[in-house]
Structure 1
Amino acid sequence: MNELPIQRVLQGLLERLGSGTSAVLIAEPGAGKTTQVPLAFLNEPWLEGRKIIMLEPRRLAARSAAEYMSRMLGEQTGETVGYRVRMDSKAGRNTRIEVVTEGILTRMIQSDPELDHVGMIIFDEFHERNLQGDLGLALALESRAVLREDLRLLVMSATLEAEPVAALMGDAPIINCPGRQFPVETIYKPMAAGYKLEQHMAAVISEAAVAHPGDVLAFLPGAGEIRRVQAELERGGLPADSVIRPLYGQLPQKEQDAAVRPDPENRKKIILSTSIAETSLTIEGVRIVVDSGLMRTQLFSARTGMPYLATGQVSRASADQRRGRAGRTAPGVVYRLWSLEVQDHLRQRNLPEILETDLTPLALELAAWGVTEPESMLWLDPPPEAAYERGRELLYRLGAVNENGTITSRGKRMAGLGMHPRLAGMLLQAAEIGQGSLASTIAALLQERDIFHCGSLDRDADIRGRLEAVILWERRGIAAANTDEAALKRVAQESRHIRKLLGISDGEDMDIEKSGLLLSFAYPDRIGQSRGDGRFLLTSGRGVEFPRAQLLSRCAYLTVAEVDDQKGAEGKILLAAPLSIEDLYRYHTEEIEEELIVEWDSTSGSVKARNQTRLSAMVLRESSASQPSSELVAEALLTGIRSEGLGLLPWTKQAKQLRQRLQLMHLADPQWPDMSDEALLECMEDWLFPYILGMRNRADLQKLQLTSILEHMLGWDRKIRLDQEVPTHITVPSGSRIAVDYSDPAQPVLAVKLQEMFGLYETPRIGHGKIPLTLHLLSPAQRPVQITSDLASFWKDGYFDVKKDLKGRYPKHYWPDDPMEAVPTKRTRPR
């Protein structure tokens, strides 16, 4: 005990928390902080007989730490030191140190905000930045600020950046402690092309086990990979005196203990573990680490509104933690299944869970705490606003909060169950209709990995088969074919635990055909309506489909509990149950809406009206509506015009010119109405709506008098000014009255025969003489021979070249030598 590095800083830590209420301890791996620090505070006078609560992120670590401290005291676990994790606890009335997991701490603070019986809370391995850890610290800080100013808070970590958390805790002192780390050699073994992970991992483990002394700790992303690597290793390549020990959170306690403790036959252990062994645990005898470099985390898709499991590269901090496992008790070696180049590009740390996960549970806990705005609390990383709002919207749909985000009586009961709000809401609603026992089994199944042995995309998605297997196990102790017996036991145990929480007897009848209904209580956003061919539209608007044809593919309605949504336009349904239309109407009546839909149909070019019965994005029933109001029809017409463009309206030549003239005035003076497509489409309610009342289709729109409608926008005074400044026609020297082309309002054009302009020296202008017209001077064949905005310059420099060119082609026409003295004419020659 005295050899542990933590002993060097314990006295300073005791003094800091004797005079203050906060501290941050940064202790490197192997320092002994997890087991030594809580014991050191047991006899502090300020504790006054109260408990020390130490938070551990994982159940195995919590149990192991409590057992180790108990052995140090020469006691049984549950005496001075105990633990409490979900569905397992060893703690009594005399327990002074309780090691708990994160959800347990949250429940403790929620049920007793003053924490009368607690003198100190220790947050161990805080660098993992789990959602519940961040929440627990936020609640503890608020409890201390408002109710318990003497409550001691200690944050411990191996790799945390200490300054931000110290500032959060009121500039808490930071104590640093070096670890006890033996040298560890690092060997990079990137996977060659064509190899699968399990093949490469098994090969490297075999190589390392033969080449080096000590036990092997191999890190893999999940239980599936562990099973496949184990199968590869069992084919051969390991030393004869070795034994394979899986280690992951869902294993039975006995198997976890076998992986952590020394082998009773002194064999070489090959421990295949998830990141559960990354921190907190010291596994005696491990001198070899083989790291796949992968980890599995639950992320939340903002695109689909659904959570999903993702496998990704570990951070540099996690890789270093794993490497350190090899040097706890003696020199070791780590094999990394990636290259040195990849190592140089690893991100420094894992992203805090609060920034990338489903925040519905957090929103419920804060509502139960009495907080509707999370920014009012202290966070290392505040909950992202969009994700938090999505979580609160789901809570409202589940009946856990009201429109203001304040918790309801149902919400309080949901929070007390200590599980995801979806499952908690399902359990309460199911109990009300006499199906609490079935809901308990469903909830247990949804929190466990699949009890069937099969690939995720090949399995039958019907949850009813799994329920039947669990019921068969509970009632007769028989494991159905192709089931995982260990998983069955865990589901049965969890189901009994939930029934006990709800006060439901084990003998309550279960109607498995109500499975889809109960799932709809948990997943109201995942009720699906068939689109044919095994494809479904969810109430959320998301499209999903079965990866292969199965009986559920033919259901009219179902509820989806699990979706593979990582790629593709449509999610893959992994777990679901059928839902009858009768149950849908009976139990989701409040969410079903009757709606009159009046919308533009581009195919027929008319407004269609129909009555719809909807459940969110799903249309349950539809029929034609006969007499929608003229206002609704007019609004639909406007929508049609916006979607198809202003070309749907009857733009006569006169209307087009008027619009162009008005746009010229707008360019000169923005106070005049904007006639661009964008502007007219945006404000159609102002200028067009009154004229289309009573109309219903494209033919009706053709009756509109757009010239009159646009003039009405102007008023009398502006119309007079428009005619004066931007005339429709210009009278040229020949006496002809020629229309001005305003197609380009920035450059109006007057196209006129050259002979009709004789005698006019200056270019005609509009806009009170400010805007010169662009003259298209035409040949006798009405083709432009000159384009100019400077007529005087043309007469002087260009006319004679044009005359020379055209006189031979049009000898009968009038080509005077002096255009200024000539008589203008629209005929071949002047009279």
Structure 2
Amino acid sequence: MSERLPIDEILPALRDAVASHGRAVLVAPPGAGKTTRVPLALLDLVPGRILMLEPRRLAARAAAERLAEGLGEAVGGLVGYRIRGDAVAGSRIEVVTEGILTRMIQSDPALDGIGCVIFDEFHERSLNADLGLALVWEARGALREDLAVIVMSATLEAEPVAALLDDAPVIRSEGRAYPVETIWLDRPLPAGARLVPEAARLIAAAEAATRDTGGTLLAFLPGEAEIRRVSGLLDQTGCEVLPLYGALDAGAQRAALAEPGAHRRIVLATAIAETSLTIPQVRVVVDTGRARRARFDPGSGMSRLVTERVSRAEADQRRGRAGRVAPGICYRMWSRPEEGALPSFAPPEIAVADLTGMALELAAWGAEPGDLAFLTPPPEGALREARALLTQLGALDHAGRVSGHGKALAALPLHPRLAHMLLVSGAEAADLAALLSGRDPLRGAPADLSLRLAAMRDPKAFADRHPYDVIRPALHAIRDEARRLRRMIASRDGRGASPPAPPAAAGAARGCGSSSGAMAALAYPDRIGLRRKGESPRFVLSGGKGAALDAGDALAGQRLIVAVDLDGDQREARIRMAAVLAEAELRELHGDRIAEVEICEWSRREGRVLTRLQERFGALVLSDRIWASAPEDAVAQAALEGLRQDGLPWTRTAARLRARIALVEGLGPVDDDSLLADGDWLLPWLGKARTLADLRGLDLSEPLKARIGWDGQQRLAAEVPAHFTTPLGRRVAIDYDHETPSIELKLQELFGVTRHPTVAGRPLRISLLSPGGKPVQVTMDLPGFWASSYADVRKDMRGRYPRHPWPEDPTEADPTTRAKPRGT
């Protein structure tokens, strides 16, 4: 504690804020010393234990070791830590990962024995940190007013957090930073440039240019794979090259955090090195400008890791690493103009992550998101998808309340999918749960899940395809996790603490034995895939999305698989890891969700009504046969949909009837959209219609008459008659297709008519025809025609049709359709 750190100047103000308000927001840049000084400064002020949260296991262990070192003792005295799979008890200070806090507060909402909770590195906005703060704050208000809460951050805007905590005091430390020179690329990298060779080239150039300055060179890369590949390209630098990432074993992590030796050191790290870790003697930083994050798509229900540009806040954090102990240099693998396009901050994890675990925690807590103090509310779409999955797993009832099984899932340190699989299948699922809870140890291998399980038993058998020194630590960690899970299940079984699993799942587990596919199907009921017909290995998943295997994969010919790892592509995801599933296993596991579905629908592609009986599990069609006895009313409904797609078939007769109905008030609209929107009037005539030809041959006259009913037909006949009766008693169809009702008939048939014919109080438009059926005049005033134009028509027609009567006064002549006898 002899070294003076910048944070020491504001510790009295922080102590005053905790003493007077019981809460504070502390903003201090990286290197100020907040992680190693603040818990120690509160030891004599806060009764009970001090709980400090770190976002990563590596940071938690390192923080505990430095705190203990500051007290002149080893971890296990006043200071301890607790992370997944590892714990050392401490009597006063305990450093834990954020998920551990959630488990603690769910089992003990009052947090008995704890006097202060410190959220370190809150600017990283992890999902567990946001949830943990919301739960702690509600517990403080309801049960523990004496519980002190401190939120510490390096770059986060303090005011919104302070407002969330009822206007908590904000304490700021200016820190201590040496000047850092920033060097950008002269021009942007060319399109299509590969990150690994470009990064290795820049790191080697930076090391050569700064060799005289000494100190450690810290390079930021997006992930483990890039670190390994870049490391292999830096052998010629003569430097000690060390990796640093979360999945690295503890010994290798400590080596990267130890004081450097005689040789210059290059540390290749992920974003884990941005803030909470102290890497000694860093003088040079190389920032590739990339970060790997999980992104969740609620539409597909899948998460995927994406490599993105860092935010300006992250770039500043990385740059600041070079100026903690002396003036430094930061090389950025982008040009200066490109910097303006970087986002200000990375999105909080709650806005982009899978919310299944959080949704279960909220249900177990008995709260809705709106009831709690969330800095960023969880997105409704992702939360809805999460709750749907939890309902499938039996963790929530249909009212959204947590079940006994759900409480048991929440008590396990696993994703609810894997916790469900472990509780239902028992200890035999521990290997699979451990494997699926981490990264794929055989990345790039064929998709078969059984290869990974075999590698866990004998890593050397895969050394010809995967470097043994690469896969051994990962497989060792997975085996350790599996042993821990087996002990946990054995302990629960011994205490009788595990509530019964959902009945269907429990029966299934007994029937399916230890098949990895069956166990995976318990965890991923929405990712059971059925191979589509055709040559390419494409699958439809039970959740409704599509997925594909590489054509040469050994699982490509399987009918049923469980896809446990996909790349998350929204159009068609690529399957990276899967297990074979027998249909008998599927029926045993999820038989209560397999339903026989009667399909009677119109197929636009085939132009016909399809009638099928199908067995379905979600979006999967397990069996499909013809439904020969489909009822006529179902066929009629399907045929009606065909009419809606193809349009109504209007014959001339039906079209005239429709035009007449349109003229009578109160008989309803008869435009196509209205007729099809309420198509029940058509159903009695569609029960036998199966094809497009049947629909196009349909005469709509009788259905239209039935639609208006008997009274409507009587009104129609009276007000808008279908025919005009000539003086000779002949019925002539009235055409209502145009604005004015019209008829056509031969001129001689209207001899003697002195009043113009009308219909529905409107004059008819009459096309007068010659004896040969050719139009000679159109009139809406027959008496006027007789008195005027008839004389000219008579003069012209007498020469053409001499055998037909052309009286001088047509109003006195008898109507006729006959010609005069020959010779007269």
Same fold (TM over 0.5): yes
Q: After TM superposition, give the deviation of residue 514 of structure 1 in Å.
A: 0.6
SS at structure 2 position matched to 1:537 = strand
Q: 2:272 aligned with 1:276, yes or no?
A: yes
Aligned to 1:817: none
Q: Pick closer, same or farther for the CA change 1:715–1:610 going to 2, 3 Å.
A: closer
Matched residue pairs, number?
776
- CA distance in 1 between partners of 2:770 and 2:165 (Å): 89
Q: 2:65 aligned with 1:67, yes or no?
A: yes
1:529-608 to structure 2, matched below 5 A, reads 529-531=530-532, 532-533=534-535, 534-566=537-569, 569-600=571-602, 607-608=609-610
Aligned to 2:431: 441
Q: Pick closer, same or farther for the CA change 1:602–1:548 going to 2, 3 Å.
A: closer
1:314-325 to structure 2, matched below 5 A, reads 314-325=310-321
- Check the 8 A contact 2:593/2:617 in 1, yes or no: yes
SS at structure 1 position matched to 2:30 = coil
Give 1:246's aligned amino acid: P
Match among 685, 689, 705 for residue 711 of structure 1: 705
Q: Pick closer, same or farther for the CA change 1:726–1:174 going to 2, 3 Å.
A: farther
- Check the 8 A contact 2:434/2:481 in 1, yes or no: yes
Greater Cα offset, 287-296 or 675-684 = 675-684
- CA distance in 2 between partners of 1:339 and 1:174 (Å): 36
SS at structure 1 position matched to 2:306 = strand
Q: Pick closer, same or farther for the CA change 1:480–1:652 going to 2, 3 Å.
A: same
Q: Pick closer, same or farther for the CA change 1:714–1:36 going to 2, 3 Å.
A: same
Aligned to 1:126: 122
Q: After TM superposition, give the deviation of residue 56 of structure 1 in Å.
A: 0.9
Aligned to 2:505: none
- Check the 8 A contact 2:639/2:690 in 1, yes or no: yes
- CA distance in 2 between partners of 1:351 and 1:401 (Å): 29
Q: After TM superposition, give the deviation of residue 230 of structure 1 in Å.
A: 0.9
- Check the 8 A contact 2:287/2:318 in 1, yes or no: yes
- CA distance in 2 between partners of 1:614 and 1:340 (Å): 56
Match among 466, 472, 476 for residue 485 of structure 1: 472
- CA distance in 1 between partners of 2:175 and 2:565 (Å): 43
SS at structure 1 position matched to 2:458 = helix
Q: Pick closer, same or farther for the CA change 1:279–1:767 going to 2, 3 Å.
A: farther
- CA distance in 1 between partners of 2:798 and 2:9 (Å): 113
- CA distance in 2 between partners of 1:283 and 1:779 (Å): 109
Give 1:539's aligned amino acid: S
Q: 2:493 aligned with 1:497, yes or no?
A: no
- CA distance in 1 between partners of 2:102 and 2:119 (Å): 12
- CA distance in 2 between partners of 1:300 and 1:734 (Å): 82
Aligned to 1:36: 37
- Check the 8 A contact 2:6/2:174 in 1, yes or no: yes
- Check the 8 A contact 2:561/2:580 in 1, yes or no: yes
Q: 2:135 aligned with 1:139, yes or no?
A: yes
- CA distance in 2 between partners of 1:299 and 1:447 (Å): 17
1:379-394 to structure 2, matched below 5 A, reads 379-394=374-389
- Check the 8 A contact 1:448/1:487 in 2, yes or no: no
> 1:78-118: per-residue Cα shift (whole Å, max 9, x none)?
211221111112224x2x11111111011011110010111
Q: 2:627 aligned with 1:629, yes or no?
A: no
Give 2:651's aligned amino acid: T
- CA distance in 2 between partners of 1:445 and 1:824 (Å): 107
Give 1:168's aligned amino acid: L
- Check the 8 A contact 1:613/1:619 in 2, yes or no: yes
Q: After TM superposition, give the deviation of residue 786 of structure 1 in Å.
A: 12
- CA distance in 2 between partners of 1:292 and 1:153 (Å): 36
1:453-492 to structure 2, matched below 5 A, reads 456=444, 459-472=445-458, 482=466, 483=468, 484-492=471-479
- CA distance in 1 between partners of 2:37 and 2:727 (Å): 108
Q: Pick closer, same or farther for the CA change 1:706–1:12 going to 2, 3 Å.
A: same
- CA distance in 1 between partners of 2:305 and 2:198 (Å): 23
Give 2:706's aligned amino acid: H
- CA distance in 2 between partners of 1:392 and 1:362 (Å): 10
Q: Pick closer, same or farther for the CA change 1:69–1:680 going to 2, 3 Å.
A: same
Q: Pick closer, same or farther for the CA change 1:478–1:750 going to 2, 3 Å.
A: closer
- Check the 8 A contact 1:120/1:152 in 2, yes or no: yes
Give 1:51's aligned amino acid: R
> 1:727-779: per-residue Cα shift (whole Å, max 9, x none)?
657899999998666557xx567587999999x9x99998866xx99999999
SS at structure 2 position matched to 1:6 = helix
SS at structure 2 position matched to 1:467 = helix
Give 1:275's aligned amino acid: A
Q: Pick closer, same or farther for the CA change 1:227–1:784 going to 2, 3 Å.
A: farther
- CA distance in 2 between partners of 1:572 and 1:785 (Å): 76
1:679-694 to structure 2, matched below 5 A, reads 679-685=674-680, 687-692=681-686
SS at structure 2 position matched to 1:98 = strand
SS at structure 2 position matched to 1:150 = coil
Q: Pick closer, same or farther for the CA change 1:714–1:4 going to 2, 3 Å.
A: same
Q: After TM superposition, give the deviation of residue 295 of structure 1 in Å.
A: 0.8
- CA distance in 1 between partners of 2:98 and 2:735 (Å): 77
SS at structure 2 position matched to 1:12 = helix
- CA distance in 2 between partners of 1:291 and 1:28 (Å): 19
Give 2:174's aligned amino acid: P
Q: After TM superposition, give the deviation of residue 708 of structure 1 in Å.
A: 3.4
Identity of aligned residues (%): 45
- Check the 8 A contact 1:25/1:157 in 2, yes or no: yes
- Check the 8 A contact 1:181/1:324 in 2, yes or no: yes
SS at structure 2 position matched to 1:308 = strand
- Check the 8 A contact 2:415/2:437 in 1, yes or no: no
SS at structure 2 position matched to 1:554 = coil
- Check the 8 A contact 2:418/2:437 in 1, yes or no: no
Unaligned 5+ residue runs, structure 2? 493-509, 803-808
- Check the 8 A contact 2:414/2:437 in 1, yes or no: no
SS at structure 1 position matched to 2:171 = strand
> 1:239-289: per-residue Cα shift (whole Å, max 9, x none)?
x3x2101110000011111112212x2321111111101111232211111
- When normalised by structure 2's length, the TM-score is 0.84
> 1:552-585: per-residue Cα shift (whole Å, max 9, x none)?
1222222111112336x43222111111122222
- Check the 8 A contact 1:663/1:675 in 2, yes or no: yes
- CA distance in 2 between partners of 1:809 and 1:288 (Å): 111
- Check the 8 A contact 1:749/1:776 in 2, yes or no: no
1:762-781 to structure 2, matched below 5 A, reads none
- Check the 8 A contact 1:542/1:570 in 2, yes or no: yes
- CA distance in 1 between partners of 2:530 and 2:542 (Å): 8
> 1:151-193: per-residue Cα shift (whole Å, max 9, x none)?
1111111111222222221122222221212111111123245
Q: Pick closer, same or farther for the CA change 1:827–1:521 going to 2, 3 Å.
A: same
- When normalised by structure 1's length, the TM-score is 0.84
- Check the 8 A contact 2:456/2:479 in 1, yes or no: yes
SS at structure 1 position matched to 2:555 = helix
- CA distance in 1 between partners of 2:165 and 2:154 (Å): 18
Q: Pick closer, same or farther for the CA change 1:705–1:88 going to 2, 3 Å.
A: same
Taking only aligned residues, the RMSD between alpha carbons, in angstroms, comes to: 4.0
Aligned to 2:506: none
Unaligned 5+ residue runs, structure 1? 815-820
Aligned to 2:640: 638
- CA distance in 2 between partners of 1:169 and 1:787 (Å): 88
Match among 295, 303, 311 for residue 307 of structure 1: 303
Aligned to 2:283: 287
- Check the 8 A contact 1:56/1:100 in 2, yes or no: yes
> 1:534-556: per-residue Cα shift (whole Å, max 9, x none)?
22222122222211323212222
Give 1:441's aligned amino acid: D
Q: After TM superposition, give the deviation of residue 599 of structure 1 in Å.
A: 3.1
- CA distance in 2 between partners of 1:314 and 1:774 (Å): 79
Q: After TM superposition, give the deviation of residue 653 of structure 1 in Å.
A: 1.7
Greater Cα offset, 323-332 or 21-30 = 21-30
Give 1:490's aligned amino acid: A
Aligned to 2:366: 370
Q: Pick closer, same or farther for the CA change 1:279–1:541 going to 2, 3 Å.
A: same
SS at structure 1 position matched to 2:411 = helix
